[in-house]
Amino acid sequence: MAAVRGPDGRFIKAGTVSDQTAAFSAALVKAVMEATERQTREIATAILRGYQGTPGILRVNPTRRLPSGNRVGTDPSAPGEPPKQVTGTLQRELDTDTERQGDRAVGRIGYRSGSPASQYAPALEYGTNRMAARPFLRPALDAHKQDFIRRLQRIGEKLG
Amino acid sequence: MGVLQVNVWNGLAAHLDAVSSFKTAIGGRIYYGIAPEAVQRPYAVVTFIDDVPFNAFTHDGYETRVQFSIYGDEAIGHRSVIDIADKLRARLHRVRFTVVDHEPMQAVFANSRGALLEDQLWRMDMDFILRGFESGS
């Protein structure tokens, strides 16, 4: 399954995608079980592209401007809104990672531990006990679920 | 929040307000967005993750994600917030609840996160996908 990792490095469970993919799982399982490292990277990249195409913080190649914040914090994002772009760090540092787990290939989206964005992305995505969340990864995942499935299906079909 | 989202929140809140082991465990302290300062523990915070009212990618119905964050004092141990989250899952997963001016909705467990230690509080997160269908669809 294509698992997706949240900004804190923990998994956003495969279930968030695979819940809706029961009918497709035969092709997916085949693709994943027989996937090479290159194909695994392709899966992770496909998911990342889905994120990057999402209006909001993750639109790295925007045809329209993101809502901009400012560095002194007088115009912050509202609770529930995706974070406003200030330095672009959240977009720039979003990364993919792939790994073999037994006979499964796992692609992840998130921030590498130790990167500047990893210091504050979890607080934005999940909120804290003192700050309401400004989620931006899970809405992108949900909005692109069908697209992820189609991309994975194509990879599965290519593997035949 | 839009009108539909307010109705969904009210329907969800009413469902959670009915007597359940979850409500008892949390002492009825469920807050939207952020909890009041220095509130008694344990408590739960609910956040709507997706404010797009109709998800055209799937069907004509309403589909949204909600995050529950369960907080408990560090001293009582991480198992306690996990136990409360399990009660929440039992209370919500694949359960239908009513929404004003809307078809009933169903909550489906999506994923969990934690338990994590945050500012001397144990925290356990659980996401549910809420699905509803318009009449006639």
pLDDT value, residue A156: 56
Under a CB-based contact definition with an 8 Å cutoff, are residues A2 and A47 in contact?
yes
Taking an 8 Å cut-off on Cβ atoms, the answer to whether A127 and B65 are in contact is: no
Residue B106's closest CA among B14, B32, B12? Answer: B12
In chain A, the percentage of residues whose pLDDT exceeds 90 is 2
Q: DSSP secondary structure string, A80-127? A: TSPPPBSSSHHHHT-EEEEEEETTEEEEEEE--TTSGGGGTHHHHHH-
Highest mean pLDDT among A20-34, A92-106, A141-155, B82-96: B82-96
Picking from A10, A20, A139, the nearest residue to B113 by CB comes out as: A10
CB-based contact, A84 to chain B, within 8 Å: no
Nearest CA distance, A146 vs chain B (angstrom): 7
Does residue A12 sit at the B interface (CB-CB below 8 Å)?
yes
**Interchain pair B111, A132: CB under 8 A:** no
How many other C-beta atoms lie within 10 A of the C-beta of residue B89? 17
pLDDT at residue number B25? 96
Q: Which of A101-105, A134-138, B104-108 has the lowest mean pLDDT?
A: A101-105
Rounded-to-integer distance, Cα A65 and Cα B135, Å: 38
Pairwise pLDDT comparison (A81 vs A9), residue with the higher score: A81
Residues B20, B30: Cα–Cα separation, whole Å: 13
- In sign, the C-alpha dihedral spanning B28, A78, B125, B5 is positive
Nearest chain B residue to A141 by CA distance is B50
Question: What pLDDT is attached to residue A27?
Answer: 40
Structure confidence at residue A46 as a pLDDT band (50, 70, 90): low
Residue A21 has pLDDT above 80, yes or no: no
Mean pLDDT of B45-59: 62
The predicted-structure confidence for B1-42, as pLDDT tens digits, reads as follows: 677 778 888 999 999 999 999 999 999 999 998 999 999 999
Using a CB-CB cut-off of 8 Å, the residues of chain A touching B58 are 20, 145-146
Q: Between B118 and A100, whose confidence is greater?
A: B118
The terminus-to-terminus CA distance of chain B in angstroms comes to 24
- List, for residues A118-148, the tens digit of each pLDDT value: 788 888 888 999 999 888 777 766 666 666 6
